[in-house]
A and B are shown apart, each in its own frame.
Chain A
Amino acid sequence: MELKSPVRREDLKRFKAGEIVYVSGEIITARDSAHKRILEYLRKGMDLPFELDGSIIYHCGPLVEEGKVIAAGPTTSARMNDHTKELLNYVESIAIIGKGGMNIDFKGKAIYLAYTGGCGALASKSIKKVKDVHWLDLGMPEAVWVLEVERFPCIVAIDIKGNNIYNEVKKKVEENYRRLMEKI
């Protein structure tokens, strides 16, 4: 399956947890500081220098050298839980790429895609171009990079209905653990 930005709510319904999806088109990176600033803008009703609604947000602090992305693996998404919860009040639909999952209610507005942790080199292969960069004053990893990607390989980890692979696995692991502890 393919996902392209801008994403629309109707479109997001196609994706189910556990499916493999290839992301193409424009994505924007944002980690802790960028999320904080995005919210500051939104609360004041200021215009963002990039389109947020319909965007694909990648939780990533890329290593960029002379305008080229060298490595761009995902960072732990749970740190952005609170920010994302508030951000969702200001958009119709978004898609998020990260690692480790998130524990918030997406209110039917977002899906979460997992990209394999540690695979920073491979990610740079899918990134065809740096289209733009905003807020470089936050530092290279924390700035908002607008990237053009092609067939970026991800897994739908949380779908629009809230089905969450991480929670399902966690439940099973707890069961397995209890059973194991009786045995060993």
Chain B
Amino acid sequence: MLIFKLYKNELMEYEDVVRTVVDLFKRAETELGEDVIKALKFAYENEENEVAKMNLKNILENIEYAKLNKIPICQDTGLPIIFVEIGKDVCLDFDLRSAIIEGVRRATKEVPLRPNAVHPITRENPGDNVGKEMPYISIDIVEGDELKIAVMPKGGGGENCSALKMMLPHDIDKIKRFVVEVVKNAMGKPCPPIFIGLGIGSTFDGCAKLAKKALLRDVTEMNEFEMDILEAVNDLGIGPMGMGGKFTALAVLSEVGYTHTSSLPVAVNIQCWANRRAFAVLR
């Protein structure tokens, strides 16, 4: 995991948060986490299909080249998504949300990020990745005196292939079928090998958020339930870039939330191989 630590004796200032957000985007866009690289290397070493191996080789070389030259891994630098956890003992004398938005604005210029955020109907592009409800910012209040910021620039391909279903409470056994169906419909479009964020429970919207937040987890640590789904997904044989192979997905990462007694919301958030995220802890 890429984690910055910034501890100050003085009060945390607006500019600290802005700079941190810019740095986090710079890191996330140019360098993948060790866990993601480990998963991709495992796939490369264990793939037998020659075409699949070639695609994985290109991916690994691309990652190395981007890091070395400090350039974005992919020209789709994603939509700016930010998860914040703020300790209840943290004292701020500025608006945290404004600081994060300013960080995105500056990152768009400095990294640079492709201006991807547009109005959904008019398709008007403000050019700085900032607009109504954009960047996507989630703020949770937690124990402690630290401010944790995670950025996750997310490409359009994976997001477009994601899906949510309000299942019935007795459909628990069908969760796996749903995930397999979503991945099958996606084929090569989300640039596999993919990472699958799986949200189970909560509300209609809360479930989608769980799926997205799950993608922040270490991709090399899965439980039995997740491994079982991963195995089924990989039995499809879509392979890297939809050109066949053993590795369609590299991880299934799930999060659960309590839900209504009559509901079972299930969300599948697809992430391309460039699972870009970076983390910072400020105090």
Contacts and interface: CB of A to CB of B under 8 A. Distances in A.
Partners in one complex: yes
Interface of A: 18, 20, 61-63, 70-73, 76, 99-101, 114-122, 124-125, 153, 155, 157, 165-166, 168-170, 172-173, 176-177, 180-181, 184
Interface of B: 50-51, 54-55, 57-59, 61-62, 65-66, 69, 71-76, 114, 155, 157, 176-177, 180-181, 184, 187-189, 191, 232, 235-244, 272-274
A114 B241 contact: yes
B237 A153 contact: no
> How would you classify the secondary structure of chain A's contact residues: helix, strand, loop or mixed?
mixed
B74 A73 contact: yes
B62 A100 contact: no
Contact of B54 (A71, A153, A184): A153
Nearest to B157: A117
22 contacts: A63-B72, A63-B75, A100-B189, A100-B242, A116-B59, A117-B272, A118-B59, A118-B73, A121-B66, A121-B69, A155-B243, A166-B188, A169-B237, A169-B238, A169-B242, A170-B187, A172-B237, A172-B244, A173-B187, A177-B180, A177-B236, A184-B177
Contact of B65 (A122, A157, A169): A122
B55 A116 contact: yes
A71 B75 contact: yes
A180 B243 contact: no
Contacts of A62: 75
Nearest to A118: B74
A177 B74 contact: no
Given A121-B73, A124-B65, A172-B237, 7 more contacts: A18-B50, A20-B51, A100-B188, A120-B73, A121-B69, A172-B244, A176-B236
B184 A177 contact: yes
B246 to A, nearest CB: 12
A34 B239 CA distance: 31
Contact of B232 (A120, A165, A172, A180): A180
Given A168-B244, A169-B242, A177-B184, A20 B50 contact: yes
Contacts of B191: 117-118
A73 B241 contact: no
Closest CB pairs A-B (n = 9)? A122-B62, A121-B66, A119-B62, A116-B58, A117-B191, A120-B75, A118-B74, A169-B244, A71-B75
A114 B59 contact: no
Contact of A173 (B50, B189, B236): B236
Contacts of B72: 63, 70-71, 120-121
Contacts of A181: 177, 180
A70 B239 CA distance: 28
B238 A173 contact: yes
B111 to A, nearest CB: 11
A119 B236 contact: no
